[in-house]
């Protein structure tokens, strides 16, 4: 008889937890407008390579830092080698013209997704000079494992 009572208590607790998780999802979507990472900036994926800032990806000086405009596509990053200064803010702007890709600078906190139709943006400062691998960490197709780039953090001049 006692076992039966404990079963009912645990079923009740589990049901309450599920209700709590569902409520958190609904609240997040309704009150905080759950959306892809970064801000909401849309872009026509068909125009990424021809008619946007991403048509000429690269590193641009901007204010006291630099902006890195990058394309993640099947199966490479453009540019494949990125040189940024150490100790200055680096703003990354990324998008994809085809499918979902990941963007992770190994050994750092730089990590986001490149989502067709959206621009992902984040700013980070690399304190030390060095060389990092950039990998795609979202499965995007047969050559996903070969999709990689290099980030070279150069000593400030």
Residues at the interface with ligand CUA (CB under 6 A):
75, 101, 136, 138-140, 144, 147
Q: How far is the CB of 35 from ligand CUA (least distance, A)?
A: 21
DSSP character at residue 42: B
Smallest separation, CB 136 to ligand CUA (Å):
3
Query: Could you tell me if 132 and 105 are in contact, meaning their C-beta atoms sit under 8 angstroms apart?
Result: yes
**Residue with smaller CB distance to ligand CUA, 86 or 100:** 100
Q: Which is nearer to ligand CUA, 59 or 74 (CB)?
A: 74
| Least distance (Å) between residue 142 CB and ligand CUA | 10
Read off the tokens for 141.
Answer: 């197709």
Closer residue to ligand CUA (CB): 101 or 132: 101
Place of tokens 């979902």: 100
Backbone Cα Rg of the chain: 21
Specify the residue, 66 or 72, whose C-beta has the smaller distance to ligand CUA: 72
Strands 65-73 and 89-95: parallel
């Amino acid at each position: 008889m006692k076992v039966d009572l404990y079963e009912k208590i645990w079923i009740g607790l589990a049901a309450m937890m599920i209700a709590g998780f569902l409520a958190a999802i609904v609240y997040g979507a309704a009150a905080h407008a759950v959306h892809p990472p970064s801000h909401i900036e849309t872009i026509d994926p068909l125009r990424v390579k021809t008619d946007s800032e991403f048509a000429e990806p690269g590193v641009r000086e901007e204010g006291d830092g630099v902006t890195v405009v990058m394309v993640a596509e099947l199966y490479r990053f453009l540019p494949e080698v990125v040189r940024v200064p150490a100790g200055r803010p680096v703003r990354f702007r990324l998008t994809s013209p085809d499918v979902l890709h990941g963007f992770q600078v190994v050994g750092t906190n730089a990590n986001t997704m490149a989502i067709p139709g959206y621009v992902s943006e984040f700013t980070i400062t690399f304190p030390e000079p060095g060389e990092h691998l950039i990998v795609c960490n979202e499965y995007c197709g047969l050559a996903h494992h070969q999709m990689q780039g290099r980030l070279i953090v150069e000593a400030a001049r």
